Amino acid sequence: MTDDDPRGGEPARTVRHRPFALDLTGPLGTARGEIGRREGFVVTVERETAEDGAAGLGEATPLPGWTESREACEAALDGLGDRSEVDSPAEALDAASTPAARHGVSLAVADAAARERGRRLAAHLADTAGAGVAPADAVPVNATVGDGSPAETAADARRAVEAGFDCLKVKVGARGVGADVERVRAVREAVGDAVALRADANGAWDRETASRALDALAAFDLAYVEQPLPADDLDGLAALRRGDPADGDGSDGGGEGDDGRDDGGGAPIAADESVAARGIGAVLDAGAADAVVLKPMALGGPDRALAAAMRARESGVDPVVTTTIDAVVARTAAVHVAAAVPDVSPCGLATASLLDGDLAPDPCPVEGGRIAVPTGPGLAGGAFDDLRR
């Protein structure tokens, strides 16, 4: 990540953290390896202006490959200690090298500030970012369907639609292109044209394979194909958007604000891993995406994620907020980030079911394909008070 940190942190007094570990319901395969357990830190920050001494609450849950290691995260938090002054998390912690640690502290500071003002976190974030509109009261979310056979994937899709989801993400890339095309075809036939479909390749394809896949998948009117190429191949992503031949070098791509899309190309492109690896600015400058998938934990905090979303929107690129399979505190914060994005598209926030347990009851359950934003103050009123102590 290469973009400058947004400024505007609140004065703070004491920063504390304590570890936690949560098992997943089952191993989760990703392009960067299998995940079976999430380990992180609950972070609390007491602000010197807080009359009741209430602590702001954050979560730092590193995911190596996306963020720093657990050890590096802990070392960064240890480095803060019980400092008498932390003027700004953006100054005290480096979002490029320790994004999860910065996320934990910046979230806690923002939560404390919002609680002191009696406002929900989404409103505080929107004001800080200059969003210009009131946050939404609910956020649309997508369901992710399993990587099974065509019949199994279609059955998962039907169950998700019956549960109220109108946007589905299908994992692709683990099989051959032909097999994935048949899986997506089965889903489209099962749910009809009114349901939005996305496909996520997690960087699994090379340029030639991705070009074939996008051309074939275009028949199913996908909202986008997520990360069809490895994270660092921004030129390749830009070339795919333009519909260039697979061996094109992408050297004549458009800059930020230049759409760069050839309407004769395949399905639209979303960048996910590329945003964490190269930064939102590099992705936009390369003309590498029609949409960007923003993970607050990987970007260094809710403030940075919202700033990236606003920058993308200004460039005509659609922002989508998601998580790194976080615990309930960070998931709730991501809901607030999404709510602060005007007219946000369905987001990848329906991930609680992937965890076998959690830090606290979830104040943001999914109902009918949407998540109601907690009214506050702060993250979720008194929902996390036991974690603040």
Taking residue 273's Cβ as centre, other Cβ atoms within 10 Å add up to 23
Backbone angles phi, psi at 19, to 5 degrees: -80, 160
CB 107 within 8 A of CB 59: yes
Sheet holding 366-367, edge to edge: 138-140, 370-372, 366-367
Identify the three-state secondary structure at position 203.
coil
CB 363 within 8 A of CB 373: no
Rounded to whole angstroms, the Cα distance separating 205 from 223 reads 19
**Helix and strand counts by DSSP (H, E) for the chain:** 14, 13
Catalytic residue among 102, 171, 311, 336: 171
Tokens representing residue 268 in the block: 């639209």
Tokens representing residue 212 in the block: 């074939």
Residue 235 to residues 8, 68, 177, 285, 288: CA-CA distances in angstroms?
A: 34, 26, 22, 10, 7
Tell me if residue 169 is catalytic: no
CB 200 within 8 A of CB 175: no
Listed in sequence order, the residues at least 6 apart from 275 whose beta carbon sits closer than 8 Å to its beta carbon are 283, 292, 293, 294, 295, 298, 299, 308
Rounded to whole angstroms, the Cα distance separating 56 from 38 reads 22
Catalytic residue among 13, 295, 304, 370: 295
Active site residues: 171, 295
